[in-house]
Amino acid sequence: MITAAAKAVISQVQYYSPVVPAEELQAYENVQEGFANRLLVLAEKEQSHRHDIESKAIQITGQIGEKEISLQRRGQTLAMVAIVLIVILCGYGFYCGFGTQSATIACGTIFLVVGLFVTGRYSKSNNSQTEKPQEEDAK
């Protein structure tokens, strides 16, 4: 037998809004004058803070993207300069009578550059595939 004194009722209320319903605000105001206003000010400050954080995150993401593009362009430019120098040196090697050695260096360079492009694309496609499930989990 359970007596009336031994019964306990547990209730839980969840709100999907930053502000509680008007009835509860009135109840808070009845507890202490100005308390409902303090809750509203608190909710406004929280929302303002959240907006500031989100706008800063967007700015930082944009800056990171711009720097990545800049680094990629710099890398491509330096790679092109290096390839041009190797071609010039191989041409000079042919001119000086070192045809076999120059051809070996030229072919090695071509295979290296092609290999870097292939592995670069392969690693980028693997990175994008591993990032997609994480983005879907966040939704």
**β strands within 1-139, DSSP E:** none
* Whether the predicted pLDDT of 136 surpasses 60: no
pLDDT of residue 120: 75
Cβ(28)–Cβ(22) under 8 Å? no
pLDDT at 49: 94
Which pLDDT score, from 0 to 100, does residue 60 have?
92
Per-residue pLDDT reduced to its tens digit, 6-62: 677 788 878 777 778 888 888 888 888 998 889 889 888 999 999 999 999 999 998
Give me 55's structure tokens.
């706008």
- Position 14 scores a pLDDT of 80
Tokens in use for 123? Answer: 């690693």
pLDDT the model gives residue 5: 61
Q: Where are the domains of the chain?
A: 12-132
CA 49 and chain centroid, separation: 21
Question: CB neighbours of 35 closer than 8 A, spacing ≥ 6?
Answer: 28, 29
Please state, in angstroms and as integers, the Cα–Cα distance from residue 95 to each residue in 81, 83, 86, 91, 92, following that order: 21, 18, 14, 6, 5
pLDDT at position 48 is 93
> Pick the residue with more confidence: 60 or 116?
60
In which residue are the tokens 């990175």 written? 127
b/e per residue 17-51 (b: at least 16 CB within 10 A): eeebeeeebeeeeeeeeeebeebeeeeeeeeeeee
